[in-house]
């Protein structure tokens, strides 16, 4: 086996390496074709505008949309805020009721909580032990005054995928707008806003090998034509929905990343799924009591969230410092609270605290996976050897029945 270069990056759900082909495409727009896309009276502006429109078509093609339905943003957090707050305010005459799910990303949960403080009512759907919503519960929750249903394509911590087409059909039949945070799904799961009847969809370039700080929001323009109250005013850029000078270099990079994601889709998915399966099989073969969290079938191909009973996740991460992984979700991992997503599945604190998210990408190799499996197994066994709880379990003691005394 060839020597593996460390540190090894297995945190592709937090961000991905910018593909060298994307970087190459962006370079001229920093210093040669540096015009402002809103400058309509000279060739520098025309060149920039043309590049932005090509990228718009490339991003639209990735999700089955029309180029005119793509609004540029700084990333999915802004896209989610614009979609949720923008639609809630635009349609509040119809009603002030919104629906989402307890396992959404904070970039959906926090705008919803913000709207609750403004007097909107939010229904928070629960999930089963695999992180799936109940479509019957969703159908029951939609009311005549429901304006927006916001449900992600796939979860960023456990990878569980929601049935988008069924959700889209349900929302359409009941006259509610369907917003989908597809941040983790782009380039990893088929997305088709027409077939899946999605009205608003959020994307972030850096999750599919593009640059950070640029994203897009798909806004349906017919059946129904969706309108949004803007969050940012000043100049009326992006059909009045998002003013501000466009990040031309970032947009060009996002367009190229979207083109590659579409072109390499089958190969990318097959590659990361094979690596993920290799990782899971390797770990479970040596640590049969490890638990893979989420839905075993309906999930992202590149992500594996594994709990290692009787081992503290943070200790394990420190023990495998040659590997970049995360415990909980990267955006909230400064907190020592166990992951709210894992708690929503009904995992106890102990199991939630012992979980690690591995997320593979285009640039990972089988050699890296084998190295990581070996390292993780050795470290788990070492930590367990020091754990009095593990010793008790080995002696056949049921820890849930133990009466602990506090001195």
Q: What is the pLDDT of residues 352-407, one digit of tens each?
A: 889 999 999 999 999 999 999 999 999 999 999 988 777 888 888 887 777 776 66
Q: Looking at the predicted structure, is the pLDDT value of residue 194 above 90?
A: yes
d(CA 68, CA 197): 17
d(CA 110, CA 102): 11
Q: What is the pLDDT of residues 266-278, one digit of tens each?
A: 999 999 999 999 9
Where do you find CATH 3.40.640.10 in the chain? 20-263
E strands in 102-199: 121-125, 146-150, 177-181
331 annotated active-site: yes
Helices (H), 215-294: 248-263, 265-286
Q: What is the pLDDT of residues 109-165, one digit of tens each?
A: 999 999 999 999 999 999 999 999 999 999 999 999 999 999 999 999 999 999 999
Where do you find CATH 3.90.1150.10 in the chain? 8-16+265-394
Query: What CATH code would you report for 20-263?
Result: 3.40.640.10
The one catalytic residue among 18, 171, 264, 331: 331
**373, 362, 365, 361: which is closest to 303 by C-alpha?**
361
Q: Are 176 and 169 in contact (CB under 8 A)?
A: no
d(CA 36, CA 240): 17
Q: What class is the 8-16+265-394 domain?
A: alpha beta
Q: What is the pLDDT of residues 38-79, one digit of tens each?
A: 999 999 999 999 999 999 999 999 999 999 999 999 999 999
């Amino acid at each position: 086996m060839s020597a593996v270069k460390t540190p090894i990056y297995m945190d592709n759900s937090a961000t991905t390496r910018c593909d060298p082909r994307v970087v190459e495409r962006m370079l001229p727009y920093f210093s040669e074709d540096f015009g402002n896309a809103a400058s309509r009276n000279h060739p520098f502006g025309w060149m920039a505008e043309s590049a932005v429109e090509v990228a718009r078509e490339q991003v639209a093609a990735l999700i089955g949309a029309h180029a005119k339905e793509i609004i540029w943003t700084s990333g999915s957090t802004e896209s989610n805020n614009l979609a949720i707050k923008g639609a809630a305010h635009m349609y509040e005459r119809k009603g002030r009721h919104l629906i989402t799910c307890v396992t959404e990303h904070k970039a959906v949960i926090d705008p919803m909580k913000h709207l609750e403080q403004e007097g909107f009512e939010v229904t928070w759907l629960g999930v089963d032990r695999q992180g799936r919503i109940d479509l019957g519960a969703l159908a029951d929750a939609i009311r005549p005054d429901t304006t927006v249903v916001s449900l992600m394509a796939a979860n960023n911590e456990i990878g569980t995928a929601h049935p988008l087409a069924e959700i889209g059909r349900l929302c359409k039949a009941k006259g509610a707008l369907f917003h989908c945070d597809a941040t983790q799904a782009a380039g990893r799961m088929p997305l088709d806003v027409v077939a899946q009847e999605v009205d608003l969809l959020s994307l972030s370039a850096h999750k599919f090998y593009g640059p950070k700080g640029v994203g897009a929001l798909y806004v349906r323009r017919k059946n129904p034509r969706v309108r949004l109250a803007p969050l940012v005013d000043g100049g009326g850029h992006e059909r009045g929905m998002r003013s501000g000078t466009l990040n031309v270099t970032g947009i060009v990079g996002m367009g190229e990343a979207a083109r590659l994601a579409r072109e390499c889709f089958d190969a990318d998915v097959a590659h990361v799924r094979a690596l993920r399966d290799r990782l899971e099989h390797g770990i479970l073969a040596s640590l049969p009591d490890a638990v893979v969290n989420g839905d075993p079938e309906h999930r992202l191909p590149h992500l594996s969230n594994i709990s290692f009973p009787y081992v503290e996740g943070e200790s394990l991460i420190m023990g495998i410092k040659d590997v970049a992984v995360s415990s909980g979700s990267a955006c909230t991992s400064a907190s020592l609270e166990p992951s709210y997503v894992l708690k929503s599945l009904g995992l106890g604190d102990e199991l939630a605290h012992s979980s690690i998210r591995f997320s593979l990408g285009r640039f990972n190799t089988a050699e890296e996976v084998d190295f990581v499996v070996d390292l993780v197994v050795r470290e788990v066994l070492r930590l367990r050897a020091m754990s009095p709880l593990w010793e008790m379990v080995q002696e056949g003691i049921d820890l849930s029945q133990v009466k602990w005394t506090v001195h």
